[in-house]
Structure 1
Amino acid sequence: MSSRPSSSENIVNQKYDRCLADLLVKTGVGFSVGVVASVILFRRRAWPVAFSTGIGTGIAWADCDRLFNPTRGPGMRVVTPASTPAESK
């Protein structure tokens, strides 16, 4: 195994691959839960399938957004040097 650092292109490609895999898994799980709920609870209506598939896709989207921009999240505040309070004299 080489100890040279990865290029930024490889890092971005790995993040996209992870996002795509996450999207497929979570959308598939949402679809499956929707089908089961539709058959068992809702007398074969279509809306539980669409709803749970959308939830799975939304969760995957949020995880991908957090992967590419970790500072944008609830409770996170980015303070720039220009906005810091002046030191006491």
Structure 2
Amino acid sequence: MSSTPPPKPSSSEDIVAQKYDRCLADLLVKSGIGFSIGVVASVILFRRRAWPIALSTGFGAGAAYADCDRSFNPARIAGVRVVEHPPAESK
């Protein structure tokens, strides 16, 4: 029987890189969805104008930005309180 080695703790650089990767993927997905909704709305409702495409793409990018901001700064999440621990006493 071979045993698997214990998982290595993630470094802070890896954690930040994973957050950036998630933010970039979220930006691409939400902007793409906004773009596609804008194209459909432009063709069906607004006689092929360009502003619905730009507006909905901007909404998608803004939603992705807000999610990314919350992942990097958890104090911005509604209902979350950040409490600092008192410094440890040295003996």
Task: Kindly indicate whether residue 91 of structure 2 is the aligned counterpart of residue 74 of structure 1.
Answer: no
1:23-48 C-alpha deviation (Å, 9 max, x unpaired): 00000100000000000001001110
Unaligned runs of 5+ in 1: 82-89
Q: 1:64 aligns with which of 65, 68, 81?
A: 68
Q: 2:39 aligns with which of 32, 35, 39?
A: 35
Identity of aligned residues (%): 73
In terms of mean alpha carbon deviation, does 33-42 or 72-81 score higher?
Answer: 72-81
C-alpha displacement of 1:4: 1.8
Unaligned runs of 5+ in 2: 86-91
The residue type equivalent to 2:34 in the other structure is G
C-alpha displacement of 1:71: 1.4
The residue type equivalent to 2:65 in the other structure is W
Distance, in Å, in 2 between the alignment partners of 1:6 and 1:38 is 46
What TM-score, normalized to structure 2? 0.80
Aligned to 1:52: 56
What TM-score, normalized to structure 1? 0.82
